[in-house]
Amino acid sequence: MSALRAAKHALRREMKRRVAALSPEEKRRQSRVLAQKLLAHPRYVSSERVAVFLSMDDEVCTRDIIVDLLGRGKSCFIPRYDGGSSHMDMLRLHSLEDMDALPLTSWNIPQPPHDDHSREEALSSGGLDLMLMPGLGFDRAGRRLGRGKGFYDTYLQRCSRHPRGKPYTLALAFREQLCEEIPVDANDVLIDEVLSEEVQ
């Protein structure tokens, strides 16, 4: 187990180094390409209830995707992380104004505050059709290198117990985040599809 942890730790460092070497312009360019690919993707077009992460500096920018989701009248859900555990909820986002008013966490990620009980949680209602997955690295087999907290793996296990079942999972990856093979264990949930610039 510790060998796997060490391998993941080393790969996380390498992935962070690769993405840090990208210019802001290149990150914006790849983000635009991926947003266009996603918006034309049949899974996206047919999905009504979509979970999307609010991107950090080292992730594919998701703002254009959120603008499109809200503009098409789809139900958009965003994560609220519980820093003290691996628990995460996906809460309804109502508008861009709503998103821009969210407070920042210690990770500098906007998220609904924990005392905000007014928002619909995806699994307490109709579940999810599609979930966009963040990560530090990905391989072609759908293995994902997260940040080590287990938020998404734990949430997907909860999804699998929902009557609607697990949503289709789609990762958004910079080219530089693609790896030959990501080391995984039994708790790591595979992703259905990895979207990157060079995948046609």
Q: Which residues are annotated as a binding site for substrate?
A: 54, 59
Residue 89: both structure tokens together: 């909820």
How far apart CA 183 and CA 3 sit, in angstroms, is 10
Q: Give, for 171, the enclosing helix (H) or strand (E).
A: strand 168-172
Q: Residue 45: in which H helix or E strand, if any?
A: helix 42-46
Chain centroid to CA 95: how far? 19
> Which ranges in 73-181 belong to alpha helices (H)?
96-100, 151-160
The answer to whether 80 touches 41, Cβ cutoff 8 Å, is no
Q: In the block, which residue shows the tokens 């691996």? A: 86
Annotated binding site for ATP: 8-12, 144-152
Dist CA 138 CA 183 (whole Å): 10
Binding site members: 8-12, 54, 59, 144-152
Q: What is the DSSP letter of 2?
A: H
Instruction: Please state the separation of Cα 54 from the chain's center in Å.
Output: 8
